Structure 1
Amino acid sequence: MSLPPVVIGLNAVVVAAGEEAPQILVIPREGADPSLPFGPFDPARHRTFEIGLREWVSEQAHFQLGYVEQLYTFGDRGREAPLADLPSSTEARIISVGYLALTPEATALSAGGGEWRSWYHYFPWEDWRQGKPEIMSQHIEPALRRWVDEAETEGRRDSRRDRARITFGLDGRGWNEERCLDRYELLYSAGLIEKSARDRHSANTSVPVGQPMASDHRRIMATAISRLRGKLKYRPVVFELMPERFTLSHLQKTVEGIVGYPLHKQNFRRALERTGFVEGTGKMLAQTGGRPAELFRYRREALREAQATGISTPRLN
C-alpha cells in the first residue's frame, strides 16, 4: 500500500503589544487572503523546526523573532485549502507545526515584507473592552439561534444549544475569554465563516465575521489567542510584550487588549503588587494633560521568590 507524501509546514503567530490592540504579523498576498508567516521544514537545511521557522519569518516578513514557544500541531485532512503556497503535490498531506512568538513592539517593516494587523480585525466578536460587540447582537447571536432552532425543528437531538450557550455565553451563561478557539470552531460548524463554504460548499456568507485568511491560519491564530489569554494567569508572559520600562497604565492596557475586556484598576494594581513582578524605577514619564506617571520594570527574579506565577485579570464589571 502506497502512502501519500507528508509535508511539514511551520507557522508563526507573532504578537506585538499595539497601542490600541494586540497586533499580528501577517503576509499580504496579491489577489488572495493574507496568511501567517509560514514555510516548509527542510530536514537537509534546518537542524530544528525553530531554526526553520525563524528563517521563514525573516525571509517573508523581514522580521527577527525573539521569544518563541511551540503552540500546536495542525493536521486535519484538507486544512490547507485554499493552499498557502507550500511547494508540494496535490496529494500531499500537510502537517503544520504552529508557534507563538511575542515581541514588545510592532516595529516598522521594510517594503515587500509583512504587515501588522489588529487580531480583532480577524476576530471582532472577541473585543468586549467597550461593552458587547455590535457584531454579536446584530449578526452572530441571531444566526446561532437560527442554527440551534434548525436542528430542533428537524427533530435531531444534539448539543447545539448547550454548545452555543457555553462558548458564546448565551442566555446569561457568561463570557469566558479563553474560549476563542471554541468560538471559532462553533462558527465553522454553524456555517458562519468563509472556510465553511470552502470545505463544505455551504455557509451563511451574509454574516460578516472578520477578515478571512489563507488555509486554516485563522484557526491557528485563534489557538494562539486562547493560549495567550490562559497563560497570563499562570506565567508572567505579558512582560515579553512590554518594553524595558513601562507605566502601570500601559501594562493594564496591554493586558486589557489581550483578554478583551476592561480591568478593575484598583483590584488589578493590588493583585499586581502582591506578585512582586514589578518595581518602581524612581523615574517619571510626563503625560500630556495629566500628572507624570512613574516608570516600572519587570523583576524576573520574582519567579524564583515564588510569590506568584501569573497575574490576575479582575473584570471591571
Structure 2
Amino acid sequence: MKTPVTSVDVARLAQVSQSAVSRTFTPGASVAEATRAKVLAAARKLGYRPNAHARSLITGRSRIIGLVLSYFENLFISVAMEQLARRLQRDGYHILMFVADLHNADELIGEVLQYNVDGIVLADATLSSTLAGLCADSDIPVVLFNRVMSSSIDSTVSSVRSDNVEGGRLVAAHFVGQGKRRIAYIAGQEESSTNLERERGFREELARHGQRIFARAVGNYNQSEARHATHELFGLSGERPDAVFVASDHMAFSVMDVLRHELGLRVPEEVCVVGYDDVPQAQWQSYQLSTVRQSVPDMVEAAVGLLHGYLRDADQPQPAKDVVVPVELILRASSPA
C-alpha cells in the first residue's frame, strides 16, 4: 500500500516549515504569496491533499455550517440559499444540508449536532426554545433566515429577515393610491412569522386609510393551495376583489395563471396582483409581477456576519441579534403605478 503523503513531506520539498504548509491550506490564514506558491507547487508534485478531519481535531473547528431547509418549493429560499452557500464557501466553509419536516426543525437538530458543525442556519424553518437552548449549551450559533423565533423570551437564536411589516404597508398604500376598494389577501403559512408580519403591515396601512381586507384566503406558501385560494376568492358570484396581495411570488404566479387562464380575468385591467420576494421569475415577460423585493445579498451578508461574529468571539457570551433588512416595492405590469 502506498504511504500517504503528509504535510511534513510537502514542507521538506518546499523548504518551508510545517506550520507554513498548514497556514497555506487553512482558509483565511496569513501566509506570504511566495511561500504559498512554493507549498502549492510541492503539494501538486507529491499529490498531497490536506485532511480536513485531522485539521478539525487540531483546531476544534470543522468549518462546516449546517443548513436546515423545510421544503424546496419556495423560489426565494432556493435563490437565497444558493447565494448563502457560495458566500460561505468563499470564506472556506462547507455546507451540510438537512431537510426538516415542514417548518419544524426540532427532530433534526440532535442529528445536526452529531456532525460537529460550527454553526446552523435554519431557512424557512424554526425550532423550539428548548432545542435552541441545547444549541446554546453546545456553543453552536443558530441563525434563522427569513424567520424570527416565535417566543419573544428566547435570547439564544439570532435572525435575519426583511422588513415584512413595511412590505405589507407598501402594498396596501399602493392599492389605495390606485383607488382600489375591494382589496384581498392570500396568506402564506398562517402561523409563520413572515406571514404574520406581512399581513399585519397590510392591515394596519389599510386601516389608516379607512379600509379593511375585502376577502381573505390561505395559500400556505404552496402553488396548488394558492390555486384553490384564488378560486375561493374569485370564483363566486357577486363582487370580486379588484386587487390582491399574495404573500409570496411563487404563490402569485399560480394566482395569475388561474385569474387569466381559468377564470378569464384580465390582469391588471380587472384585478391587480402584487407578490412578495422579487424572485428572478417575477421579471419574466409572461408575468411581469409587481412585488416587494427582499434584498438577498443584504440578507446573506447579514447572516454570514452573524455567524462570523459568533465564531470569532466564541469565548465571549454573544447576545442574540435580530437583523431587519429594508424592502422595496417593485412595480411591473401586474399592478402598475
- Structure 1 or 2, whichever has the larger Rg, is 2
TM-score by length of 2: 0.23
TM-score by length of 1: 0.24
Q: Higher relative CO (CA 8 A, sep ≥ 6), structure 1 or 2?
A: 1
Higher helix share: 2
